């Protein structure tokens, strides 16, 4: 698999991941044909995000209008890792950095692992439990929200649980003794899995 193919899978996975937030009953997904965003329904709390921006082939003047529209929504933007340099500049207001190796605290890291690279598991004194109930999911959601969202309920402890029941998300809690200390999940996009830590 080439580097570009791996990055494309990361982009597909990221778009799928963001769309998962919008599949809960208190959220909505809006796709206007040029970009997609998730947001909570009126009176609800949840993550907001613009993603799957598909304007690269449009004339420059139309791109500018849509970028202004995107900015007016005042939401975080996920732009594909393979986005063209000019689109990156229009969205973020600065040049795309190529070949960056030093990461800041604000950077996210994306990795791809092929099946033959799967590591052996170390069990030690800890145990990993797959979420099987609404109560276990509430524990998972609290830890995920505390770690990833500063305590804000981006993953709703009730409304996002049906994603587990439908098999779209497999959630795991790491326990040290009886204390839950970390979480992970696997997002299942028709057999293409994305591990989220």
Per the CB < 8 A criterion, the answer to whether 148 and 102 are in contact is: no
Residues of the chain above pLDDT 70, percent: 85
Q: Which residue's entry shows tokens 């709390």? A: 45
Q: DSSP letter at 109?
A: -
pTM metric for this prediction: 0.73
Instruction: Label the pairing between strands 169-176 and 126-130.
Output: antiparallel
Region 43-52: mean pLDDT is 92
**What would the mean pLDDT of 57-70 be, rounded to a whole number?**
94
User: Could you tell me the two tokens for 11?
Assistant: 């982009």
Of 188 and 30, which is predicted with more confidence? 30
Segment 41-65 shows an average pLDDT of: 93
Q: What is the mean pLDDT of the chain?
A: 86
pLDDT at 186 (0 to 100) = 87
Look at residue 125 in the predicted model and tell me its pLDDT. Answer: 78
Nearest alpha carbon to residue 32 among 65, 76, 80: 65
Beta strands per DSSP E along the chain: 27-31, 36-40, 49-51, 126-130, 169-176, 179-189, 192-196
Q: What is the pLDDT of residues 130-166, one digit of tens each?
A: 999 999 999 999 999 998 888 888 889 999 999 999 9
Residue 193 pLDDT greater than 70, yes or no: no
Q: List pLDDT tens digits, range 85-123.
A: 888 888 888 887 776 555 566 655 556 666 677 666 656
- Worst-scoring range by mean pLDDT, 52-56, 104-108, 126-130? 104-108
The pLDDT value recorded for residue 38 is 96
Residues 18 and 34: their CA atoms lie apart, in Å, by 16
- Average pLDDT rounded to a whole number, residues 27-32: 96
142: number of Cβ within 10 Å:
16
Total Cβ atoms within 10 A of residue 34: 16
How open is the CA angle 17-15-112, to the nearest 5 degrees? 75
Neighbours of 195 (CB within 10 A): 13
SS3 content of the chain, % helix, strand, coil (to 5): 30, 20, 45
Half-sphere exposure of 120 (CA within 13 A, CB side): 2
Q: Is 161 exposed, middle or buried (0-12, 13-18, 19+ CB in 10 A)?
A: buried
């Amino acid at each position: 698999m080439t580097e570009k193919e791996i990055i494309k899978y990361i982009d597909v996975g990221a778009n799928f991941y963001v769309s998962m937030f919008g599949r809960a009953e208190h959220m909505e997904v809006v796709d206007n044909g040029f970009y997609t965003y998730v947001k909570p329904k009126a009176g609800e709390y949840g993550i907001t995000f613009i993603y799957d921006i598909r304007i690269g082939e449009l004339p420059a003047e139309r791109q500018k209008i849509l970028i202004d529209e995107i900015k007016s929504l005042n939401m975080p933007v996920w732009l594909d890792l393979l986005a063209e340099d000019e689109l990156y500049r229009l969205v973020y207001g600065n040049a795309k950095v190529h070949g960056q190796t030093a990461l800041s605290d604000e950077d996210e890291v994306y990795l791809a692992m092929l099946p033959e690279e799967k590591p052996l598991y170390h069990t030690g004194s800890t145990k990993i439990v797959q979420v099987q109930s609404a109560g276990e999911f509430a524990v998972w959601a609290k830890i995920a929200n505390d770690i990833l969202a500063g305590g804000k309920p981006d993953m709703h402890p009730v409304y996002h649980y049906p994603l587990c029941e439908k098999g779209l998300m497999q959630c795991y809690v790491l326990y040290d003794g009886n204390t839950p200390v970390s979480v992970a999940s696997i997002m299942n996009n028709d057999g293409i899995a994305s591990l989220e830590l």
